[in-house]
Amino acid sequence: MDADLQNAIRGAVMRHLRASGEPVREAVLYERIAAEGVHADGTDVIAVLMRLEVEGHVHVDPARDEVRDPAPFQPRFWRVIG
């Protein structure tokens, strides 16, 4: 993934998670990032989310309902930690 795109996704992820004030489902997060004009596909967004989790910036919460998102999304909820 291009470094500029990765940085754009990273910034958008953090902005939208912080603005929400609560866990956000990853498919919804992708839709918000796309609406912002960041040209990424779902796998790019998930890759950045996973990297942010490894770095300790975000945390994945288990699914809390029976959401059926299309591939590559799963019913996972992300939130900022720290």
Q: Is the pTM of this model over 0.85?
A: yes
Tokens of 67: 């959401």
Separation CA 68–CA 56 (nearest Å): 27
Tokens of 73: 């999304």
- What CATH number is attached to the domain comprising 49? 1.10.10.10
Separation CA 43–CA 47 (nearest Å): 6
Residue 69: what pLDDT?
Answer: 86
Number of structural domains (the chain) is 1
If we measure between CA atoms, which residue out of 19, 16, 50, 18 comes closest to residue 30?
Answer: 16
Residue 11: what pLDDT?
Answer: 97
Residue-number span of the structural domain to which 69 is assigned: 3-80
Residue 68: what pLDDT?
Answer: 83
